[in-house]
Every structure is written in C-alpha cells, then in structure tokens.
Amino acid sequence: MGEGKELIAFVHLCVEPNHVSDIISNLCSCQRVTRVYGVTGEYDVIAIVKVRDLNELHRFLRSNVMNLRGIKGATTSIVLEERFAVGETVDLSHQNNRL
C-alpha cells in the first residue's frame, strides 16, 4: 500500500450466542478496530479493522480474533476501493463505473 494508506478489512464473525457480548467487548478494546456491529443474518458480529498491510492483518486476526473463546468461524473482506461515504466527496473520475 502507498505511504499513508491503510488497509481496511471487514471481519465477519460467527459467534456462539452466549459469547457475543464478550467478543464485542474484546474487539472494542483493540486499537486497530474502528467499528463493531452486532448484526442479524449469516454472521453475528462485524468488525471494521484498519491496519498497515496484509501482514499486520494476519497478525491481528491470529492474535485478537481467532483466539477468542466462542468464535465459530470468520470471513474477512478486504476493501479494494471506497466508492461512497456519507458527508465526504469520493473522487470517482479515474474509475470506469464497474458497479
């Protein structure tokens, strides 16, 4: 990633029902976590993580997620590009409207 850029990842977690609150609390205390959501659907918790690079993401997942009691599974989605942010201007002029 370029200088000053951070890698953003969405970490989708399947959690045992009696561990959701503890996992949310643990994630909220992690320095690299910017948001945590309890959600409905296929996953129980989604955390947004900002790290320097893939190596740091891997260390974060291994140290701060996969060792938490009650995690049944995790899927991580890495943000490739930001297309829209409420209250912010996102320059799309260099892109070819693939969506």
Q: Which residue has the higher pLDDT, 88 or 76?
A: 76
pTM of the shown model = 0.81
Q: How far apart are CA 65 and CA 98, in angstroms?
A: 33
Domain ranges in the chain are 7-78
Mean pLDDT (the chain, rounded) = 88
- Class of domain 7-78 (CATH, top level): alpha beta
Average pLDDT over residues 54-79: 95
